[in-house]
Amino acid sequence: MKFVDEAYIDIAAGDGGAGCVSFRHEKYKEFGGPNGGDGGRGGHVFAVADPSLNTLVDYRFARRHEARRGEHGMGSDMFGAAGADITLKMPVGTVLSDSETGEVLFELLQPGEVITIAKGGDGGFGNLRFKSAINRAPRQKTPGWPGEKRSLKLELKVLADVGLLGMPNAGKSTLITAISNARPRIADYPFTTLHPNLGVVRVGPEQSFVVADLPGLIEGAAEGAGLGHLFLRHLQRTRLLLHIVDIAPFDEGVDTVAQAKAIVNELKKYDQALFKKPRWLVLNKLDMVDADQRDAVVADFVKRYKFKGPVFEISALTREGCEPLIKAIYKHIKAQQVAEQPAVDVDPRFVVGDPELPAPGSSA
């Protein structure tokens, strides 16, 4: 299936049905009075977060979505039926914004979450509504109210705890294969990954996190070079970035430090908030370096790169060093989750051991 993470749609809720002007016509009841009913409500347009979807391809060509209008009111006190609602299924992590102003209107962050993105118009009043002591034969009615109409931009931002970034062929796909259940395409040439891949990393019983593998970045990605700029938005919701560096490139003339700095500069140009996220350095492909030279190669890279954060040395192919990396990531994510939980106000009178509370069995 083709991966699509951006689409534009037009939605229209149903208009309300018009009210009715009608009077009772029965034998021997010349002045039966008004009996025109109200119009029905127009159909709403809902959006639901469906965890089984991972792309917006359904909305690439089906751009217009309209709910049914409400039925008109009728005589004999009959109100019009409400128009049928429609529900649009979207992947979890979809952002819905106004296509003209760019204002974010809704976000689908929880599986099964349902939001109303366009409200149907209310039905109009029939003449039964206008009956009063001084107006016994009203001929007034109102038309139905129009339903809401919107032009929306749908943007999918994958929900992952950890994002992998780096140059093409740095070993990101090999790493996500080694530590998770994801099985992306792996080949010995750059730009193998063409769309984000998500994998669940199992640390222990009821202990896991989600990692996202994105297409490789190159210098100038923030301005549109390569494929990576199309998917940088998928890193915005991550809690941690792993900067994967190929410590043993095939071309000996490649400056790995310059490449690593270029990736960081692209993050800074694209989004300052993304640039400020916690970022760890993961030096990959140690199996390609002689064992007696590894320490010197790693020390030289860290010294020239002047990186002050955590540094991990791994080989995704042989899985060497992957286990300590996984445990460190999980510990970091759990610490962030605890820090993000809102503080709960506790009444000091109910704290165990509070000196102001009387001892058990004593009189207050």
Q: 352 lies in a domain?
A: no
* Residue 214 shares a structural domain with residue 326: yes
* Residue 106 shares a structural domain with residue 168: no
* Residue 134 shares a structural domain with residue 45: yes
End-of-domain residue from the set 156, 189, 215 = 156
Q: 194 lies in a domain?
A: yes
Q: What angle (nearest 5°) sits at the alpha carbon of residue 88, between those of residues 11 and 80?
A: 65
* Residue 24 shares a structural domain with residue 94: yes
The token pair that represents 196 in the structure block: 């984000």
* Residue 79 shares a structural domain with residue 224: no
* Residue 169 shares a structural domain with residue 82: no
Q: 355 lies in a domain?
A: no
* Residue 169 shares a structural domain with residue 131: no
* Residue 127 shares a structural domain with residue 224: no
Number of domains the chain contains: 2
| Backbone torsions φ then ψ of 105, nearest 5 degrees | -100, -45
CA gap 21, 36 in Å, rounded: 5
- Beta-carbon contacts of 77 under 8 Å, excluding residues fewer than 6 positions away, are 35, 37, 128
Residue 260: CB atoms within 10 A of its CB come to: 23
278-298 pLDDT tens trace: 889 888 888 888 888 888 888
Residue 66 identity = E
End-of-domain residue from the set 105, 122, 156 = 156
* Residue 109 shares a structural domain with residue 144: yes
DSSP helix/strand/coil, 124:
coil
Q: 350 lies in a domain?
A: no
Q: What angle (nearest 5°) sits at the alpha carbon of residue 284, between those of residues 244 and 168?
A: 50
- Across 124-142, b (16+ Cβ under 10 Å) vs e yields bbbbbbbbeeeeeebeebb
Q: Are residues 107 and 236 in contact, defined by beta-carbon separation less than 8 angstroms? A: no
Q: 349 lies in a domain?
A: no
Q: In sequence order, which ranges of 75-195 are alpha helices (DSSP H)? A: 172-179
End-of-domain residue from the set 156, 180, 213 = 156
Furthest-apart CA atoms within the chain: distance in Å: 111
Q: Which CATH number does the domain housing residue 121 bear?
A: 2.70.210.12
Q: Are residues 71 and 81 in contact, defined by beta-carbon separation less than 8 angstroms? A: yes
Say which residue the tokens 């039905």 belong to. 123
CA gap 24, 16 in Å, rounded: 24
* Residue 187 shares a structural domain with residue 308: yes
Q: Which CATH number does the domain housing residue 223 bear?
A: 3.40.50.300
Strands 94-98 and 149-156: antiparallel
What is the chain's pLDDT, residue by residue, as a tens digit (364 residues)? 445 577 899 999 999 999 999 988 877 777 778 989 999 999 999 999 988 887 788 888 889 999 999 999 998 889 999 999 999 999 888 889 998 888 889 988 888 899 999 999 999 999 988 988 888 889 999 999 999 999 999 988 777 788 888 887 778 888 888 887 656 554 443 444 445 677 778 887 778 888 877 765 555 444 444 444 456 666 777 888 888 888 887 777 778 888 888 888 877 777 777 788 888 988 888 888 888 888 888 888 888 888 888 888 888 888 888 898 989 988 888 888 777 766 555 555 544 444 444 444 444 4
Q: Are residues 304 and 258 in contact, defined by beta-carbon separation less than 8 angstroms? A: no
Residues in the chain: 364
* Residue 251 shares a structural domain with residue 329: yes
Q: 225 lies in a domain?
A: yes
* Residue 175 shares a structural domain with residue 269: yes
Residue 94 identity = T
Q: Which domain holds residue 7?
A: 1-156
Q: 169 lies in a domain?
A: yes
Q: 187 lies in a domain?
A: yes
237-247 pLDDT tens trace: 788 888 888 88
